């Protein structure tokens, strides 16, 4: 994306070339100049407006208006589903190589627009510049990965041997075919990658789609949809609605003509959608990617410099608002004091502020209710446990205009709710254990099973990999204890309450989730 030898991923983003910063700074200025406009939804060939709009402001500075977006209703969800249904016959019969070509164009456009898109993303979500650039690039890489899988599998259409018959010839074939209208509902924290990835997968496999972005990230959703449209998708193949999850999101998820859904968000909403999709006249596919309560385990034999770096990066990257964020640390007693000291020192050194600026690594949390959830958690820990670093809201100077909080390391009794419930905030808890065995048992004693990290000796690794109940695991990784998967390198998906399918995004097994098998036998 910039200098020829540099490939941006979440594990290479710590030491980018200088030219990357110059281009990002230029893009920021341009992005700010475009903000504040009103944006329509998109249904079929039409830009659609609702009776009223909502205003979207930056979590960095509430005075900065990003745009006005439509407060879509259940009726708009219905219109969008109808448009997608009408477009389905032609799109599903479009030769798969043509669909791949259009989606490759979408990926290329996203990559081309990486600077403009990531500048907007940084202002809208409060991601730092490297996380923002990373996410937009990840979106392009996910779509390209799905195009590659389509090609590698020859469109998921295979000839099988003829039946061993005499006197007849039976031609046998198995095909994976699209379901129909696919809904994609995305979370605020990865509004490009976790929208563009599933939209790309749904479309390349021949489904048509209705997309709903999170309201906090309506601008990113709009920019992403523009890129798909500019790639040449026929009208109606991809429709885009905005508005509250509890109204238009709910209407979309419960629409009887939606054949399948990819929901990424909280377990609370995801589980209710999964139940709805299992409870109709027949079960419909529901890919629900949900939350995490991800643990890092540190043994007495760990390299503590690596462990501390990896934990801090995963606990506080994007302000702890990643499903993969490290929110629990179990450290063996012999290493506990040193690890605690290192974590506190690294945490105290984190620069928090406007994350579009190169010098700041941490930005604000997304909105007032996220800051309130953080405040409640640290107040509760203050009463029952110990705050080791941070533990407060940040309101000094310009920070007062945004939703800033201090990265926090704390200890709390094991039965405290903060050990159980995802806080989605920059808050990591630490506890001492007698053995790695005990640590793994504690890590697994969670409804969630998304990511996990381990730092320890070579002969401890297999035991960890074998027993840990998580879909994405990392060992001795300073770049991130529990975060930082990249398409093609680390497939990403959760077990238990973290994911409904047991298969990961960016994996070899993902596209078949968007299709159903038809075995065809034709006798001459």
Contact footprint for ligand NAD (CB under 6 A): 185-190, 194, 212, 214-215, 245-246, 249-250, 253, 264-266, 269, 289-292, 323, 422, 424, 450, 494, 498-499
Give the long-range contacts of residues 148-151, CB within 8 A, separation 24 or more: 149/508, 149/510, 149/511, 150/96, 150/99, 150/100, 150/204, 150/205, 150/511, 151/97, 151/100
Task: Name the residue nearer to ligand NAD (CB basis): 195 or 204.
Answer: 195
Q: How far is the CB of 324 from ligand NAD (least distance, A)?
A: 8
Q: Report the relative pairing of strands 238-241 and 258-264 from DSSP bridges.
A: unpaired
Q: How far is the CB of 26 from ligand NAD (least distance, A)?
A: 29
Pick from ligand A1AUG, ligand NAD, none: which does 188 bind, CB < 5 to 8 A by kind? Answer: ligand NAD
What would the x/- binding string for ligand A1AUG be over residues 377 to 416, using CB under 6 A?
A: ----------------------------------------
Measured CA to CA, the distance from residue 35 to residue 48 in angstroms comes to 20
Q: How far is the CB of 393 from ligand NAD (least distance, A)?
A: 20
Helix (H, G, I), strand (E, B) or coil at 184: strand
Pick from ligand A1AUG, ligand NAD, none: which does 484 bind, CB < 5 to 8 A by kind? Answer: ligand A1AUG
Of the candidates 506, 491, 123, 451, the residue with the CA atom closest to the CA atom of residue 315 = 451
Q: Which residues are catalytic?
A: 289
Pick from ligand A1AUG, ligand NAD, none: which does 123 bind, CB < 5 to 8 A by kind? Answer: none
Q: Restricting to residues 463-492, which ones interact with ligand A1AUG according to CB under 6 A? A: 483-485, 492
Of the candidates 258, 261, 237, the residue with the CA atom closest to the CA atom of residue 102 = 237
Buried b / exposed e along 19-46 (16+ C-beta atoms within 10 A)? ebeebbeebbeebbeebeeebbbbbbee
Binding flag, residue 293, ligand A1AUG (CB under 6 A): no
Q: How far is the CB of 108 from ligand A1AUG (least distance, A)?
A: 22
Residues 289, 505 contacting (CB under 8 angstroms): yes
Binding flag, residue 324, ligand A1AUG (CB under 6 A): yes
Task: Name the residue nearer to ligand A1AUG (CB basis): 353 or 471.
Answer: 471
Q: What sign for the dihedral angle of Cα 362, 379, 312, 305? A: positive
Pick from ligand A1AUG, ligand NAD, none: which does 250 bind, CB < 5 to 8 A by kind? Answer: ligand NAD
Task: Name the residue nearer to ligand NAD (CB basis): 385 or 499.
Answer: 499
Three-state SS letters, 87-113: HHHHHHHCCHHHHHHHHHHHHHHHHHC
Measured CA to CA, the distance from residue 258 to residue 492 in angstroms comes to 25
Other CB atoms within 10 A of residue 77 CB: 27
Q: How far is the CB of 45 from ligand A1AUG (least distance, A)?
A: 33
**In the complex, which residue's CB is closest to ligand NAD?**
245
User: Any idea which residue has 């075995």 for tokens?
Assistant: 519
- Please identify which residue in 88, 190, 316, 330 interacts with ligand A1AUG, judged by CB under 6 A: 190
Q: How far is the CB of 170 from ligand NAD (least distance, A)?
A: 43
User: Any idea which residue has 């930005």 for tokens?
Assistant: 363
Tell me which stretch binds ligand A1AUG (CB under 6 A): 39-47, 205-213, 317-325, 335-343.
317-325
Task: Name the residue nearer to ligand A1AUG (CB basis): 355 or 484.
Answer: 484
Tell me which stretch binds ligand A1AUG (CB under 6 A): 23-31, 83-91, 150-158, 321-329.
321-329
Binding flag, residue 323, ligand A1AUG (CB under 6 A): yes
Q: Report the relative pairing of strands 472-475 and 451-455 from DSSP bridges.
A: parallel
Measured CA to CA, the distance from residue 56 to residue 68 in angstroms comes to 6
Task: Name the residue nearer to ligand A1AUG (CB basis): 41 or 323.
Answer: 323
Measured CA to CA, the distance from residue 158 to residue 174 in angstroms comes to 5
Sheet of 386-389, strands arranged across: 386-389, 408-411, 427-433, 326-332, 294-298, 451-455, 472-475
Q: How far is the CB of 57 from ligand A1AUG (least distance, A)?
A: 22
Task: Name the residue nearer to ligand A1AUG (CB basis): 88 or 492.
Answer: 492
Q: What sign for the dihedral angle of Cα 21, 24, 30, 35? A: negative
Q: How far is the CB of 443 from ligand NAD (least distance, A)?
A: 17
Task: Name the residue nearer to ligand A1AUG (CB basis): 53 or 323.
Answer: 323
User: Any idea which residue has 């195009």 for tokens?
Assistant: 147
Task: Name the residue nearer to ligand NAD (CB basis): 190 or 228.
Answer: 190
What are the residues binding ligand A1AUG (CB under 6 A)?
189-190, 322-324, 483-485, 492
């Amino acid at each position: 994306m910039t200098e020829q030898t540099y490939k941006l991923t979440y594990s290479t983003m710590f030491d980018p070339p200088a030219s990357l910063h110059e281009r990002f700074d230029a893009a920021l200025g341009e992005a700010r100049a475009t903000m504040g406009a009103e944006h329509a939804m998109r249904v079929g060939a039409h830009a659609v407006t609702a009776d009223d709009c909502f205003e979207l402001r930056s979590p960095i500075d509430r005075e900065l208006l990003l745009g006005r977006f439509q407060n879509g209703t259940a009726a708009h969800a219905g219109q969008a589903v109808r448009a997608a249904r009408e477009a389905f016959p032609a799109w599903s019969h479009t030769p798969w190589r043509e669909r791949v070509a259009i989606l490759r164009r979408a990926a290329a456009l996203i990559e081309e627009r990486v600077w403009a898109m990531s500048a907007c993303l940084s202002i809208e979500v409060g991601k730092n510049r490297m996380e923002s650039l990373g996410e937009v690039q990840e979106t392009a890489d996910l779509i390209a990965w799905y195009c590659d899988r389509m090609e590698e599998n020859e469109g998921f259409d295979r000839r099988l041997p003829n039946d061993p018959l005499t006197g007849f010839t039976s031609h046998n074939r198995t095909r994976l075919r699209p379901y129909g209208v696919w809904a994609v509902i995305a979370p605020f924290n990865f509004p490009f990658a976790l929208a563009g990835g599933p939209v790309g997968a749904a479309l390349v496999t021949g489904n048509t789609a209705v997309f709903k972005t999170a309201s906090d990230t309506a601008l990113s959703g709009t920019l992403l949809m523009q890129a798909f449209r500019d790639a040449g998708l026929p009208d109606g193949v991809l429709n885009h609605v905005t508005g509250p999850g509890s109204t238009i999101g709910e209407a979309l998820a419960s629409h009887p003509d939606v054949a399948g859904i990819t929901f990424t968000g909280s377990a609370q909403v995801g589980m209710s959608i999964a139940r709805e999709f299992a409870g109709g006249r027949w079960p419909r596919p529901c890919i629900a990617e949900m939350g995490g309560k991800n643990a890092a385990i540190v043994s007495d034999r760990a390299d503590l410099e690596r462990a501390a770096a990896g934990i801090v990066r995963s606990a506080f990257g994007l302000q702890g608002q990643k499903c993969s964020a490290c929110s629990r640390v179990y450290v063996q007693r012999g290493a506990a004091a040193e690890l605690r000291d290192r974590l506190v020192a690294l945490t105290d050194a984190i620069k928090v502020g406007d994350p579009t600026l190169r010098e700041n690594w941490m930005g604000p949390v997304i909105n007032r209710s996220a800051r309130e959830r953080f405040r409640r958690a640290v107040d509760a820990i203050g009463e029952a446990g110990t705050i080791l670093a941070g533990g407060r809201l940040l309101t000094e100077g310009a920070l007062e205009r945004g939703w800033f909080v201090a990265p926090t390391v704390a200890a709390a009794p094991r039965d405290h709710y903060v050990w159980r419930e995802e806080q989605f905030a920059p808050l990591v808890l630490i506890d001492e254990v007698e053995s790695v065995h005990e640590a793994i048992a504690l890590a697994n004693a969670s409804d969630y099973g998304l990511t996990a990290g381990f730092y320890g000796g070579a002969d401890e690794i297999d035991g960890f990999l074998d027993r840990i109940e998580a879909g994405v695991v990392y060992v001795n990784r300073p770049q991130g204890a529990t975060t930082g998967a990249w398409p093609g390198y680390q497939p990403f998906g959760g077990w238990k309450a973290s994911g409904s399918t047991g298969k990961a995004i960016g994996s070899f097994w993902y596209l078949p989730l968007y299709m159903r098998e038809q075995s065809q036998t034709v006798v001459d």
